[in-house]
């Protein structure tokens, strides 16, 4: 997540996150707290229906005939949508369904330029079909990830799914003592006296949630695990992971009437300590099944929305896990010299513990952290937010190594993946803050995917951005030369 150590309120939106190990003075408008940073986006946004502007689409069409044999991959984002600007009768929702219309694209494309080369046309069709398959194939995996719990410190449900998905894509799969998943994909560079250089791509898999702290008359009092804004909780469906009977109990979070709360507590936001989980069971049944200390996770189901977006809980940060999976799939057919450590870290939402431990254990040469950033929407459209479906972001700040930023920028421009700068003037609020300081220090980069309604049960992301993030990661890995570290400088 993009939460760190102090309460920060940006653009009127609060996000919660507790990292008791570190204090931070916030430069942005916000409250101060000795050990916790709370950040939460509550935005309601309009959907974005077009990937690129018309002039870019026109360029994509003409570029196909001149360069497609060499640069087919580069223009994939634009090819998928060019037909909607060429054919007046195109589906108005093509941005949502473009991956299903490779055939229509091929037809419309031929009408856009009557001089199109047949060979380039066939390449366009085949590559558009490849993009369609990649995007559609990753969606079921993402939906499975955001259908399980895996709260910080109890990540097993998510870890099991990730290990199953990654095993065919890597040479070795394992877990750390803190439960982070490690997947090693070896590069082609051979070293006789030393290990090959390695890039670690870290995506945290843990989720925010709650814990039962008291049971009164069959109702459950809760406390947060990670950062949660109490304003979004009343009426939220949840799952109680009952240890007494090893079952999942469905429930809802209830807010007592203001008249039953202490004086002054019912006039504004009701504190979490007054909220209760109602399972519908009688008090005696609850006491048999539920124990103090049991976890409580969000119970919302994944929803495929319009505009190629997906909504659900825990997209922060399992959308990034999906992006890393796309990267591993891309690397199956792409030569890379460096070893790649694909890592799904544990406990990012509470302590960065998984990143610290995995960074020390694996000792990568460099590290790239993939996480979420704040998506633009109604009431949140300033420079600190980024539109969904328009590309990914590159971190800029003290935790980001400038040489890695420069390489990512160059690669993104070369393959024409749209990127924006994400300003991180103090901490990055991600696992990068831990990895940068691990062992003797690890040069680190942050790549982020825009997301609306962060740290709620209805987070929203664009599938295009997930796919772009995965492609950019794979292109970056493939760009790493054998002597890359001999040229890296802090400027």
- 13-33: average pLDDT: 35
Which of the four pLDDT bands, split at 50, 70 and 90, describes residue 263? confident
Dihedral of alpha carbons 357, 336, 159, 18, sign: positive
* Domains of the chain, start order: 54-136 (no CATH), 148-207+313-487 (3.40.630.10), 209-298 (2.40.30.40)
Q: Is the pLDDT of residue 23 over 90?
A: no
Which of the four pLDDT bands, split at 50, 70 and 90, describes residue 82? very low
Residue 57 is predicted with a pLDDT of 37
Q: Is the pLDDT of residue 72 over 50?
A: no
| 387 neighbors 48 (Cβ within 8 angstroms) | yes
Q: Is the pLDDT of residue 472 over 90?
A: yes
Q: Is the pLDDT of residue 34 over 80?
A: no
Q: Return the bridge partners of 200, or none.
A: 341, 367
- 189-212: average pLDDT: 90
- 304-311: average pLDDT: 97
Residue 135 is predicted with a pLDDT of 52
What residue has token string 């082609």?
188
Residue 2 is predicted with a pLDDT of 60
Residue 264 is predicted with a pLDDT of 84
Q: Kindly state the tokens that stand for 290.
A: 């539920």
List helix spans (H) across 215-345. 283-289, 315-330
Q: Return the bridge partners of 407, or none.
A: none
Mean pLDDT estimate for the chain = 80
**What kind and span of H or E run contains 339?**
strand 339-345
How far apart (Å, rounded) are the C-alpha atoms in residues 320 and 312?
Answer: 14
Residue 276 is predicted with a pLDDT of 97
Closest among 208, 243, 158 to 2, alpha carbons compared: 208
Which of the four pLDDT bands, split at 50, 70 and 90, describes residue 379? confident
Q: Is the pLDDT of residue 11 over 50?
A: no
Residue 193 is predicted with a pLDDT of 60
- 316-324: average pLDDT: 98
Q: Kindly state the tokens that stand for 468.
A: 């772009």
pLDDT digits (tens, 9 = 90+) for 110-155: 444 444 444 444 444 444 444 444 455 899 999 999 999 999 999 9
Residue 216, SS3 per DSSP: strand
Who contacts 17 (Cβ-Cβ below 8 Å, separation ≥6)?
A: 1, 3, 4, 5, 36, 37, 38, 39, 226, 227, 349, 429, 455
| 267 neighbors 259 (Cβ within 8 angstroms) | no
Dihedral of alpha carbons 253, 259, 263, 265, sign: positive
Task: Give the count of beta carbons closer than 10 Å to the beta carbon of residue 490.
Answer: 7
């Amino acid at each position: 997540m993009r939460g760190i150590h102090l309460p920060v309120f940006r653009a009127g939106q609060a996000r919660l996150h507790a990292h008791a190990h570190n204090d931070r003075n916030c430069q942005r408008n916000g409250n101060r707290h000795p050990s916790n940073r709370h950040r939460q986006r509550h935005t309601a946004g309009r959907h974005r229906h077009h990937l690129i502007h018309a002039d870019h689409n026109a360029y994509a069409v003409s570029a196909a005939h001149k360069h497609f044999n060499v640069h087919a991959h580069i223009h994939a984002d634009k090819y998928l949508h060019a037909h909607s600007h060429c054919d007046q009768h195109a589906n108005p929702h093509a941005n949502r369904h473009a991956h299903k219309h490779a055939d229509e694209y091929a037809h419309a494309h031929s009408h856009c330029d009557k001089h199109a080369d047949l060979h380039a046309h066939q390449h366009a069709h085949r590559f558009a079909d490849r993009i369609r398959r990649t995007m559609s194939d990753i969606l079921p995996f993402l939906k499975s990830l955001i259908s399980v719990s895996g709260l910080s410190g109890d990540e097993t449900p998510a870890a099991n799914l990730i290990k199953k998905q990654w095993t065919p894509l890597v040479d070795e799969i394992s877990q750390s003592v803190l439960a982070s998943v490690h997947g090693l994909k070896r590069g082609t560079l051979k070293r006789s006296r030393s290990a090959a250089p390695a890039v670690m791509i870290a995506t945290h898999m843990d989720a925010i949630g709650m814990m039962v702290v008291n049971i009164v008359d069959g109702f459950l009092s809760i406390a947060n695990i990670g950062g949660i804004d109490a304003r979004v909780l009343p009426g939220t469906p949840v799952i109680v992971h009952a240890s007494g009977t090893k079952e999942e109990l469905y429930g809802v979070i209830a807010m007592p009437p203001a008249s039953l709360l202490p004086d002054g507590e019912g006039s504004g936001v009701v504190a979490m300590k007054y909220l209760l989980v109602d399972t519908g069971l009688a008090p005696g049944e609850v006491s048999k099944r539920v124990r103090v200390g049991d976890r409580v996770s969000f119970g919302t189901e994944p929803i495929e929305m319009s505009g190629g977006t997906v909504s659900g809980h825990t997209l922060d940060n399992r959308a990034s896990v999906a992006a890393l999976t796309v990267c591993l799939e891309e690397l199956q057919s792409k030569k890379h010299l460096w070893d790649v450590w694909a890592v799904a870290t544990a406990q990012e939402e509470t302590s960065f513990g998984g990143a610290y431990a995995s960074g020390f254990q694996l000792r990568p040469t460099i590290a790239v952290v993939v996480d979420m950033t704040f998506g633009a929407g109604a009431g949140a459209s300033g420079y600190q937010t980024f539109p969904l479906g328009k590309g990914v972001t590159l971190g800029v700040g003290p935790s980001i190594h400038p040489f890695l930023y420069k390489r990512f920028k160059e690669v993104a421009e070369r393959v024409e993946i749209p990127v924006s700068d994400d300003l991180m003037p103090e901490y990055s609020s991600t696992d990068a803050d831990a990895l940068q300081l691990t062992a003797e220090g690890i040069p680190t980069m942050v790549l982020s995917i825009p997301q609306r309604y962060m740290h709620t049960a209805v987070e929203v992301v664009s599938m295009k951005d997930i796919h772009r993030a995965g492609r950019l990661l794979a292109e970056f890995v493939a760009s790493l030369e054998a002597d890359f570290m001999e040229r890296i400088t802090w400027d």
